[in-house]
Amino acid sequence: MLWPVTPYGVWAQKPSSDYPITAVPLTSVTINDSFWKPRMERNRTVTIPHIFNQNETTSRIDNFLKAAKKKPGEYQGQRYNDTDVYKSLEAASYTLAVTKDVNLDRKVDELIAIVAAAQEPDGYLYTPRTVDPQKPAPGAGPERWSYLHTSHELYDMGHMIEAAVAHHQATGKRNFLDVAIKAANLIANVFGGGKRRDVPGHQEIELALVKLYRVTRDEKYLLTAKFFLDERGKTHNVEHATFEPGNRFFMYNDRSYRQDHLPVVEQARATGHAVRATYMFSAITDVAALFNDTRFGNAVEALFNDITSKRIYLTGGLGSSGATEAFGDDYALPNERAYAETCASIGGILWYQRMFQRTGEVKYIDILERTLYNGYLSGVSLSGDRFFYQNPLESDGKRAPAERSAYFDVACCPANLARLMAQLPSLVYAQREDEIFINQYIGSEARLTVGGMPLTLTQTTSYPWDGHVVMRVDAAKPVEATLAIRIPGWSRGEAMPTDLYRFAPSRATTTGRLTLNGKPVSGVETDGYIRLRRTWQRGDAVTLDLPMPVRRVLANDAVEDDRGRSAIQRGPVVYAVEAIDNGGKVTGMTIPLSTLLTATYDKSLLGGVTVIRGRGITAIPYFAWNNRGRGEMATWIPY
């Protein structure tokens, strides 16, 4: 049977304590706009098949077949390559939840059968060891769980569990879920108080076990998730400081690299590997909601404030230190050397959504939107089959990553990107009893239940190119409800909820206008939302007009790379100048703050984008750079 589709992230049920705000699940939202719908279609028809194919041609599938003794040979590749298979299955599952695709469904079942065959009888599922336990992959450790900080065993199984939960929710089938339950039972038997006390080097298992708890209601998964968080930063943890001679895993000796230097409730500064961090912050937020634990809640709020004050790019990119894929020093945000891994943007988006659902605060959705339209979307080409791992804010067109790649040796980003694109419908609306949050302006239809009554909310807009949004309410009978209409940070004159970035003064009108059935509404914006409470009649229409002037953005003086420079933003979209539009180069370009910049929609350029032009400059959306070959690119331009 299908479990009730519900709250956080994509779906789930509501236990006694949980997020007070639930996401309207992806099965209740149909995106039908001209910006995201074609991208979601491309994700289904190009990106996911491309990743499936890459996983086959790069031995990632073979590793499962070898572990199942269906094929001879050694394990190939990195010890975390199993996750590329799992994340692509998760992406495909979300797609199957909303689109009938018989071929994809069959392909997914074939892959699940291969994964299941690689599982050992007691539930252990980690092909880097199972292929040849006498000669496990480098970093995997000589025995099960022996190199927990480098092995990625629990990371691999975490992604497997997340994928299995998604597949079960999408299809109602148990073929993958049963594999996940078997592995999770083993993990819960091995780890815990009075058992093995240690933590994984790469967080992921924590949030995965919370998801498994939500579909099974088996509390041991939730308690094991909390155990892994509670154990972090404890001194009794075994230090796996010595690895194979000449090992490449030096950074694992630094406990802050894996956020294991302090108990999680005492971590107030974001440190270490950015993807690990965002996955862990997501799990901490889950636990804060499910256990109503304010210490966990306070910790993630402090970490969010730290990140948005000192460690986030204007694109939403996280992690500025390339050597260790990590958060950098205060205000260390280099543009050309920006790491800003696509996965860190994705981890951030999934975390910000949880933070919103716990607090209802708009700042989390503002940063989510900023990340979605910039640092996340830059990760994939317009063709859907080329990817950035790093997302620098400047390029000389030569130094890597000067262009997107078909795949990677470490290929975490492509499938991660695909699974986020596939679950996008669950990020548009949210609900708290009879209060409906419109968080993202994306043309769509949402099928809701308010006070036991079905209600359909239809949104029509050309966002992010235009701030005109029409929201139509349809219900069989009049329904009393509150529409919480988000006024985005960029429209409130706030580039960032901190002083890290600010808009340069402008004389342009930025005040929005709201009408109900054609008449002005004197809605008061509080905490980033205008709340309209009334008894809604069939056909009621709310129109929001958000002026979208071209804005110049300035960074805090402490950010060395941005000093004397400004960036361009319009609506939620950050702009970049590319050599191809600017006489072959962008170095040496200067744009005084007084330069008049105008915006024009060009349907023939880059799949249809709004272009910004001024004297001697043409700028395109940052996310669309490098779709016309290599060349110089810059986002922060001297003024």
**Distance between alpha carbon 495 and the CA centroid of its chain, in Å?**
20
x-or-dash pattern for Zn ion, window 302-341, by CB under 5 A? Answer: ---------------------------------------x
Nearer to Zn ion, 232 or 276 (CB): 276
Please enumerate in sequence order all residues whose Cβ is within 8 A of that of 569, keeping only pairs 6 or more positions apart, or say none.
Answer: 314, 490, 495, 503, 550, 551, 552, 553, 575
Nearer to Zn ion, 243 or 389 (CB): 389
Report yes or no: 357 and 350 within 8 Å, Cβ to Cβ: no
The token duo for 329 is 């020093």
Which amino acid is located at 96 in the chain? L
Q: Which of residues 148-187 bind Zn ion (CB under 5 A)?
A: none
x-or-dash pattern for Zn ion, window 216-245, by CB under 5 A? Answer: ------------------------------
Residue with tokens 């991208």, as numbered in its chain: 39
Report yes or no: 620 and 605 within 8 Å, Cβ to Cβ: yes
**Distance between alpha carbon 603 and the CA centroid of its chain, in Å?**
28
Widest CA span in the chain? 75
The token duo for 482 is 């509150």
Shortest spacing between CB 338 and Zn ion, in angstroms? 14
Shortest spacing between CB 413 and Zn ion, in angstroms? 4
Nearer to Zn ion, 378 or 543 (CB): 378
Instruction: Give the residue at shortest CB distance from Zn ion.
Output: 343
Report yes or no: 478 and 537 within 8 Å, Cβ to Cβ: yes
Q: 19: closest CA among 245, 244, 265, 351?
A: 351
Shortest spacing between CB 407 and Zn ion, in angstroms? 12
Nearer to Zn ion, 5 or 412 (CB): 412
Nearer to Zn ion, 275 or 568 (CB): 275
Q: Which of residues 334-353 bind Zn ion (CB under 5 A)?
A: 341, 343
Shortest spacing between CB 397 and Zn ion, in angstroms? 23
Shortest spacing between CB 414 and Zn ion, in angstroms? 8
What is the C-alpha to C-alpha distance for residues 330 and 318, in angstroms, rounded to an integer? 13
Tell whether residue 26 is a contact of Zn ion (CB under 5 A): no
x-or-dash pattern for Zn ion, window 383-422, by CB under 5 A? Answer: -----------------------------xx---------
Nearer to Zn ion, 201 or 467 (CB): 201
Report yes or no: 620 and 377 within 8 Å, Cβ to Cβ: no
What is the C-alpha to C-alpha distance for residues 212 and 203, in angstroms, rounded to an integer? 16
Shortest spacing between CB 489 and Zn ion, in angstroms? 27
Number of residues engaging Zn ion in binding (CB under 5 A): 4
Shortest spacing between CB 354 and Zn ion, in angstroms? 20
Q: How many other CB atoms are there within 10 angstroms of residue 276's CB atom?
A: 24
Nearer to Zn ion, 208 or 413 (CB): 413
Please enumerate in sequence order all residues whose Cβ is within 8 A of that of 149, keeping only pairs 6 or more positions apart, or say none.
Answer: 200, 201, 240, 252, 258, 260
Shortest spacing between CB 416 and Zn ion, in angstroms? 6
Nearer to Zn ion, 410 or 476 (CB): 410
Please enumerate in sequence order all residues whose Cβ is within 8 A of that of 507, keeping only pairs 6 or more positions apart, or say none.
Answer: none
The footprint of Zn ion (CB under 5 A) covers 341, 343, 412-413
